[in-house]
Every structure is written in structure tokens, then in C-alpha cells.
Chain A
């Protein structure tokens, strides 16, 4: 496995291009994308439908391959790893949060959260300790023995967050995490993300097309036709102000924006 340069960089993409299909039917989903995400950063990726946001997340998550270019996570080049290495990498260094929660409905919440540690063959005591820690942090202690089917969307998404961070991953990837939630639960989830980012130092890369959700991030990357079109940083600004700025950029981008 090759190594990249900066130790502060969690994610680095270099000239990443992704095509779907062959020959004349080939469609370019990512076009020479280069970006870096530093440790502890909360980054949102926004753009219109078909702009390549999900593709960018998928190639970072190693569940899809790039056509050309390199991707480094914690300095390790993951774009050319073998399947076995990639699954170990996903298990050990990545955390996932999806729109449809992706909790296993046959497992209790506690079992769902512990699963990544079980896969790492962590000891029973350590697993239970980590479970208690994330359950307390995300305030889901009372949900642990329940099955996902009996939880609300917000509760499920908090459980998914707990599963994503229990292994203390280098990078948490979130794909439209509020897509199936109402506005109240969306707001609560975003506050959870901020807490994960500030208290647990989680590095988060989130794809969303919702401007308000995007405004919780410190940095927003806008994609258009598979390429990075613009970038906004929140800095010291208030969230509401940042939100309006995002809306403006989205309007200029000509994309579809949701206003909560």
C-alpha cells in the first residue's frame, strides 16, 4: 500500500475520474476531482441530482472503483487496493451513515452497534465498554435492547451514528443522512453530527442536497457535472448566515435545493 504526504490529511483525492459504461455509452460521473479533508473536519458535498456527489462518496467508501486518479485515506492509497484489503479498511477505518439507516433489522440496536467491533474480534469487555461510551454520548442507552423496527427514524439514525463511530474511524461517511427524517429529527441529527465532530473529533464527509443540513458543516463543496465547482467555508459565521450563503451558491449553481 502506497503512502501519501500529510499526516493531518485524512482524505486526499488526486485527479479522480469515474466513468460508467463503455465506448459511446460511457457517462462521466466524476471529472478530475482533487480535494483534501483534514482530520476533524466536517465537510458537506452538495450539488444537483446527477452532479456526482454519491459517486464521490462511493469511491471514497471503496464500494466503487475510480476509472483514474488516486484516493488516499490517512496516507494509504485505497484506490488500487485488493478486495480483501478494502473490506478490512472499511471495517477498521471508515464509518457509514446512510439515508435508509442500514441497520440490520434482525439484530438489536446494541448488536448492530457492536457488530464492527465483533468483526474486528475485539474482546467482550472492550466491546461492552465502547458500547456504553457511544450509547451515553448519543443518548441511546434506553434503546439498546430494542430492534430497529420498533424505533423512530431519528432513533434509528442515532443508532446508525453510534455504529459508525464505535470503532473510532478515521472518516465517517454520511450519504443523505437526513433524507428519511422530518425537520425536527433532521435538526437533532445534525446537532449529533456536530457533537460527534467537536467532542469525539470525528472527521465527517457528508453528501446532502439540503442547504440547511449542509449549513451545519464547516466546509461545503459544490459539485457540478462531476467536478468541484465551488467551495464555501463557514469560519466564524453563524449557521443561519452560512445557510443563506449556501442557498445563494445553489441558486447560482442552478440546482435543486430543499429548504427545511
Chain B
């Protein structure tokens, strides 16, 4: 009997509460697809690896916990929508345990149907994600196989999420009185108390957000100059999200109270009604608004950061690997056993593609550290560090093919440093003595690609390095084509070394194509993870707003009926309903979308500091696109909720 009743209720609910069901199904689809990506054997071998898989499982479990919490919120709404029905069951003689069993059975049925529908969607979503990953990895897309392990992981996770959310929601059924179920809770509307205090708190929240953004900007500069760690960033992010919650929580209390104080504004048409409606709904849901705004901000900033990371990856590659192939050998490493010789290695490379051009250069050291003394990399802990020098003729041969102007030096030297080493370096006035001759510093450059992989070196006239001990020998190559199997070449050029008692692979070559593919794989998985997290958070946020709107429809319907009776026409009713629901929906979204602006500005700042100006514009466009897509999805969800609300509230008048 219970099962039959539960089945009928669910059947009825699927029709009535489509938004809830579809949200659950979409979330399941996301979870299924991401789990399949994660447990795809080919991808695991190719790009994921144990560490990335572990990290992503952690992310999925974390997101699932958020989903469980939000679903419990949504289930509680659904429960309240049907409170009269549950009240009738209890008055008809059902025990509370029976009603709880009925509720859990219904949810189990919804879970099974949502799981089935979600997994069906997930089958296609997974192929779409794999297509995207393949595109990012520049691999040929073929229909990906499904993982049994991934499927089980999804099933277990979804059931756990449902169990947790149901148990949290069922607490209400356990505690509520029959009278409250049948008659509804007699809540009395009150004016917002202490609107001034809430306004001050709103301003405080805004100030906190501004301080967090300004703090992040100064942190970026400090971090890139090596003067800061990641901890201050976390502190600032906590400040940002905390302030965002405070801002929305207090604004939900103060905004309408302030608008209602404006006599002329509120006396226009239905404005008083609109402001009071919004005041009541925002006041009641202030905490939820803060929470949704925070989750949406995480989604927006996370997506922005990941897409910027993708741009940054391209830019970093241009700095880190300016040439197709880079050979590097340090003369201070004595043990060279097992390594392929340079000629032997070249023959290996030639098996994959022809070498078109070779440029060689050498770094020298005189044992001194006069240059490093001007950086943070001196003193205790940097005892063995030595200054490095490269002849200007070799340096020019290296940079001119890349489009840089040749360096001209006479009795002078040029310091090439990374941003962190250059931060404390004097602009001018420094002199060094090499081979008994004094050279004046011509300047510090941070915009050249990385040719040595150390903090700094000096470009000096050719005669200055004569007789100096060679420190590193480099050869860079331009290859005829880049569509060779870079992973196979990397394997062929690698040799085994013992490091810290463990065997690992090492190589004297940096293969640009290999690095690019590795970076692509990392960014592809970051992107997929971020999209999964953002998709689920967005979906949950929108569903909560939609369900909250629909839950309030019964009361709203009555209020709109009264409006209609006292002479508000259908068109005006629709307009008021649109304004009310739209503002309620958009309230927690505006600021998270705006957060995309400082996030993009910070990313642009990072790109600028790292001399990646080419990508600055793209960073802005990416942030704009992310916000645009989120807004579009949001509006689609809103449209569905509004149409239902309109049907229930206005058409039925």
C-alpha cells in the first residue's frame, strides 16, 4: 500500500515538480559524466595519473557534499509544498513512522528515476566532455568506452547524496505538529527591524569585498616578486566570500526597507506591494541568498581562473620553450653514466623529425655571486649559488630569430632576470669586474624567454667570458614538423637516475611539443573539473531559487487574487509578478557576475607582469564570455520558473 501510494505520489510529482526533478537529473548527469572521464583508462594512462585522479575524487566528493546539503534544502521546500497532504495522512491515522517511510520511499523512487534519466543524459554528456578533452589534448576523438568502476562510483555517490539530503529534510516531518501541517505555520509579517544596522553591515560587506580585491592585487605583485606565499591569497579569498555572504545577507534585510522609506517611489502603482513581497521573501531567505551568491561567485571566479590558466599555459610555453627542442647540460653534474650522448640523442630526434636549425650557447661562471647579492636569493641557504654569464654574440644569435632586437654592449652588461629576482635589483650604478675589466650595468630585462632556467644571469661582451669556466652548455633546435609522437620522443630521450634512493626518469632535453601536450592535459582536466563544479553549483543555486519561488506560489496566488479584485489588470499582474520573481532570481547573481571583472583584471595583471601582453585582451574576452554563458543559463532557468509562476498565479485568477 505504502509503495503504491509512494509510486502514485512520485508519478504526480514528476509532472508537477519538473524543475526539482530535472535539477536532480542534470546533477546526476554531471556526476556520471565526470566520473566516467575520471575513470577512463586511456585518459588515466595518458594524462590523468594517480595524483590528479585523487585530487578530482576529492573535488567530486566535496561537490557531492554541497549537493547533498542543497538537495536537502530543496527537498524541504518540496516537503513544505505538500505539507497539507502529509497532514491529511496523519489525521487519517497514519503514524509518523509511516509518513517518514512514505517520504523516504518516494525519494528513493525519485532517486532511481533521476539516476536512470541522469545517467542517460550523462552517457551523451560524457561523450561531449570527452570530445572537449580530446580537442584540448589535440587527440582524435573516438566514441569513448564507459567505465564500470565510474558507473558504480556515481551510483554509490548519488545514493549517499540522496540519503543525506532525505535524512536532513525528514527532520522536519519528524518534528512538525499536525496542526502546522494542515493549517500552515502562522507566520506574522513584520517590518525589518534596525534597517540602519543592516545598511551599515551591507556597507561593511561591500568594503570587505573591496578590501579583499585590493588585497589580492597587492598579493599578486608580492607573490610574483617572491615576497609572499599562497596563505595570504587564501585569507583574502575567505575575506571575499565571507564579505559576499555578509553583503547579501544584510542587503536582503536593508534594501527593500530603504526603498519603502521613499514615499513617492512606493506610492506609484503596485510598488508598495512589490517592495513588501520582495522584502518578505528576501528577509526570509537572506541566509540562502548569501549562500547561493557565494557558490555562484566560486563558480564564476573558478571558471575565470581556469580559463585564464589555459591562456597562461600558452603564454608560459612561449616563455619556457621558445624553441622546438632545447638541450641543456650542466658541467657541475659529474655523473653522466647512462645518458645518451648529444650526437646519439640527435640521431634519436632525427628519427622523428628533421632538425632544421641549431643554435648553441654557453653559460660561464667565475665563482662569484655579486649579482645574486642584490636579490633575495643570497645569504643563508644560497651558499652554492653562482653568477652566470653569457656572451652577447651567442645571446643575440638566440634572441634575434624570436623577433627581439640585438643587444649592443660596450664596457657594460645587461642583467636578465625573472620577476622575483628583478624586484630588488638596482636599476643602475652597479659595476662588475670580469677578466680584470670593469663593466657598468646597462639595465635589467625581465621580458626575454627563459634560456637558462635560473633566477638571473648577465649578458656580457664576448671578451668578458674568455677563460671563464663553462657552467652550462645549451643547444636549441628548430624542427621541421611538430606532429610527431612527442611522448615517444620524450621516452626515447629519457634515462634512469637515482634520486633520493628512488629510480626516476630524467632527460637533458625539453621538447616543446611534449610540454605543450602535458600542459594541455593538465589544463583540460582542470577545465573539465571547473566546469563540472560550476555546472553543479549553478544548477543547484538556480534550482533552489526556482523551488523557493514555486513554494511561495500558494500564498502569492492568494495575494495576486486580492490585487486582481481591487482592480489590477492581468497585464499589470504579470508585470508585478515578473519584477518580483526576476529580482528574487537576479539578486544573488549580480555580484558574482561582477566578481568576474576583478578576477579578469587580476589575471590580466598577472599576464602583464609576466610580459604576456598578447593574452591580456583574450583574458578579458574569456571572463566576459564566462559571465555571459552563466547569465544565459540563469535566464533560461528563470524563464522556466517564471512561466510556471505565471500559469499558477496569474492565469488561474
Q: Which residues of A contact B (CB under 8 A)?
A: 61, 63, 83-84, 87-92, 94, 96, 102-108, 111, 114-116, 118-119, 121-122, 124, 127, 147, 149-150, 163
Contacts and interface: CB of A to CB of B under 8 A. Distances in A.
A115 B189 contact: no
Nearest to A86: B569
B594 interface: no
A91 B573 CA distance: 13
Q: Which of A63, A96, A105, A116 has the most CB of B within 10 A?
A: A105
B221 interface: no
Nearest to A127: B267
Nearest to B555: A105
Contacts of B263: 124
Given A115-B272, A118-B270, A121-B269, A106 B279 contact: yes
Nearest to B187: A149
B279 A115 contact: no
Given A84-B569, A88-B569, A96-B566, A104 B559 contact: yes
Contacts of B264: 124
B188 A150 contact: yes
Interface in B212-267: 263-264, 267
B112 interface: no
18 contacts: A84-B569, A87-B564, A87-B568, A87-B569, A90-B567, A96-B566, A104-B562, A106-B276, A107-B272, A107-B276, A116-B567, A119-B566, A121-B268, A124-B263, A147-B190, A149-B188, A149-B189, A150-B188
Contacts of A163: 566
Contacts of A106: 189, 273, 276-277, 279-280, 559
A147 B563 CA distance: 17
Contacts of A150: 188
A143 to B, nearest CB: 14
A68 to B, nearest CB: 24
A118 to B, nearest CB: 5
Majority DSSP secondary structure for residues of B touching A: helix
A150 B188 CA distance: 7
A119 B189 contact: no
- Leading 8 A-B pairs by shortest Cβ distance: A91-B567, A87-B569, A149-B188, A90-B567, A106-B276, A102-B562, A147-B189, A106-B280
A83 B569 contact: yes
Interface string B506-549: 00000000000000000000000000000000000000000000
A124 B568 CA distance: 19
B565 A63 contact: yes
Interface string B451-485: 00000000000000000000000000000000000
Given A105-B189, A106-B559, A149-B188, A115 B569 contact: no
Given A83-B569, A87-B567, 10 more contacts: A83-B570, A87-B569, A88-B569, A89-B567, A90-B565, A90-B566, A102-B565, A103-B562, A104-B563, A108-B191
Given A104-B276, A104-B562, A106-B280, A118 B271 contact: yes
A119 B270 contact: yes
Given A106-B559, A124-B264, A150-B188, A119 B567 contact: yes
Contacts of B189: 105-106, 147, 149
Contacts of B276: 104, 106-107, 111
B153 to A, nearest CB: 47
B566 A116 contact: yes
Nearest to A93: B567
A87 B273 contact: no
B437 interface: no
Given A87-B568, A92-B567, A116-B566, A107 B273 contact: yes
Nearest to B263: A124
A142 B566 CA distance: 24
Given A147-B189, A149-B188, A150-B188, A111 B272 contact: yes
A94 B564 CA distance: 12
B571 interface: yes
A62 B272 CA distance: 25
A170 to B, nearest CB: 13
Contacts of B571: 84
Contacts of B186: 149
A88 B564 CA distance: 10
Interface string B570-602: 111000000000000000000000000000000
A115 B565 contact: no
Contacts of A92: 567
Contacts of A118: 267-272
B275 to A, nearest CB: 9
Q: Which of B270, B272, B561 has the most CB of A within 10 A?
A: B272
Contacts of B563: 104
A61 B270 CA distance: 21
Contacts of A122: 267
Interface in B169-199: 186-191
A207 to B, nearest CB: 15
Nearest to B272: A111
A115 B270 CA distance: 7
